[in-house]
Chains A and B, each alone.
Chain A
């Protein structure tokens, strides 16, 4: 079992619709969770982070965390063509191996006009 799993996609979403991205993780000791957006050929850009169970909203983005189910999600409302990118879920395990981020493989999102 991979430490952080994401559906690779592509997730095709009409412009203006809601894109829903999911991520599961295996380490129950994980403490903080991050969503990065990565355009093709570019480096990851931090868009959201969440530490507590529940929802966290920032503009058109909402992150949801359920530690009991080891599940974190990202909703993108009013999707725009500029949202077309790969979205990476990252988990901070804060263990002796360093305060590292463990990434999923990413979900590719395509927003069609």
Chain B
């Protein structure tokens, strides 16, 4: 069984630039959730994709957008980067988008630094 993978591991960008982060879900999982974790804080929900459709969104501006592909891999795009976007971006995969059981398994994360 293949776990959740993310790329790149680290990324340095400057303010105003755009970035794309990638995630491959765990084998057999059809749902991908993205989280932002600032230093010293818990992860914050950005959005979730289920079968290629956005299935919920947290309190993040529209410049945070995403995609899910037929193989259930996913991308997170952030436009017009701001200094506060510096964080660890986590992708989590799970099987199914609803119901009581929502065990989410995290990838290793992408550390984004905005200068």
Show the binding face of A for B, using Cβ within 8 Å.
4, 31-32, 34, 36, 42-46, 49, 51, 88, 90, 92, 94-106
Contact = CB atoms under 8 A, between A and B. Distances in A.
Given A43-B88, A95-B56, A98-B45, 16 more contacts: A31-B100, A42-B109, A43-B90, A45-B106, A46-B103, A46-B104, A46-B105, A90-B42, A92-B102, A97-B57, A98-B55, A98-B57, A99-B31, A101-B92, A105-B40, A105-B41
A34 B101 CA distance: 11
B43 to A, nearest CB: 5
Q: Which of B90, B99, B100, B104 has the most CB atoms of chain A within a 10 A radius of its CB?
A: B104
Nearest to A51: B100
B44 interface: yes
B41 A34 contact: no
Contact of B45 (A43, A46, A102, A104): A102
B28 interface: no
A88 B92 CA distance: 15
Interface of B: 31, 33, 35, 40-45, 47-48, 55-58, 88, 90, 92, 97-109
A32 B101 CA distance: 7
Contacts of A95: 56
Given A31-B100, A99-B97, A42 B108 contact: yes
B101 A101 contact: no
A101 B33 contact: yes
